[in-house]
Amino acid sequence: MQPQGVQGMAATNATNIVLVHGIWADGSSWNKVIPILENAGHRVIAVQLPLHSLADDVATVKRAIDLVGGPTILVGHSYGGFVTTNAGYNNQNVTGLVYVSAFAPDEGESTGNFVDVSKLPPGFLVFDSGGFAYINPEMFHQAFVQDANATEAETLAVVQKPGHQSTLTEPSGPPAWKQLPTWFEVSESDHIIPPDAQRQFAQRMNATTISLNSSHASLVTHPDEIAELILNATKGVTK
């Protein structure tokens, strides 16, 4: 039986939106953005990535796309952009890609091409017995979301979802951004993905780009601007 889309969800605008979180976050990181998108009439799904492997994460996003059907805008934050780059490739339901302070790799590139884990501060990453990496909670606020208040940052640190160490080195497959229109938000005060790398991603895909004086977690601290960028993508507004 073919998926018939999400039933019982009121949507007045034809374009669906699939939101994809990164490592050290989960689907709830979109909590401030989701109501704006839904109030604009869109059907929205914020996936929960397993973060066990790139293949599992891509499969998770593809199932969400199949569930809502097309047309769909894929939105990825951080490592979520790595996932959407792969999940959107040759996917007839996907009509555009939005990157939020995200990785946008070309084929064969890994996150290690842009972030050198060996140069992170001592004790920054904490690995559990299964090889899953957390950000040290004591360092989370200043590293991930320094422009949020302490209470919000502490909560985000507690609910952070660790990624398996393999997700930090796996190479990307062919990129969907070579096939589709793209939008990109550069976080100019990002301590996780260098802003210069973000600009490089945006430039090589010729993305419609905005820049915010934001931490890595711009979807948390600048939800209005991020929602506007996503809504522009659903309308095909470029430049």
User: Could you give the strand order of the β-sheet that contains 132-135, starting from the edge strand earlier in sequence?
Assistant: 125-127, 132-135, 163-164
Confidence of residue 222 (pLDDT cuts 50, 70, 90): very high
Q: Greatest CA separation found in the chain?
A: 51
Query: So what's the pLDDT on residue 63?
Result: 98
Q: Is 80 exposed, middle or buried (0-12, 13-18, 19+ CB in 10 A)?
A: buried
Segment 220-225 mean pLDDT: 98
Kindly report the pTM of this predicted structure. 0.94
Query: So what's the pLDDT on residue 12?
Result: 66
Query: So what's the pLDDT on residue 195?
Result: 96
Closest CA to 33 of 21, 48, 24, 23: 21
The partner residues of 74 in beta bridges, in order of sequence, read 18, 97
The CA–CA distances, whole Å, from 193 to 82, 105, 111, 236 equal 12, 13, 9, 27
Query: So what's the pLDDT on residue 194?
Result: 93
The larger pLDDT score, comparing residue 10 to residue 151, is at 151
Tell the CATH topology of 16-235: Rossmann fold (3.40.50)
Closest CA to 182 of 211, 200, 197, 202: 202
Confidence of residue 113 (pLDDT cuts 50, 70, 90): confident
Residue 64 has pLDDT above 50, yes or no: yes
Residue 20 has pLDDT above 60, yes or no: yes
Segment 182-207 mean pLDDT: 97
Segment 22-35 mean pLDDT: 97
Residue 7 has pLDDT above 70, yes or no: no
The three-point CA angle 3-174-170 to 5° equals 95
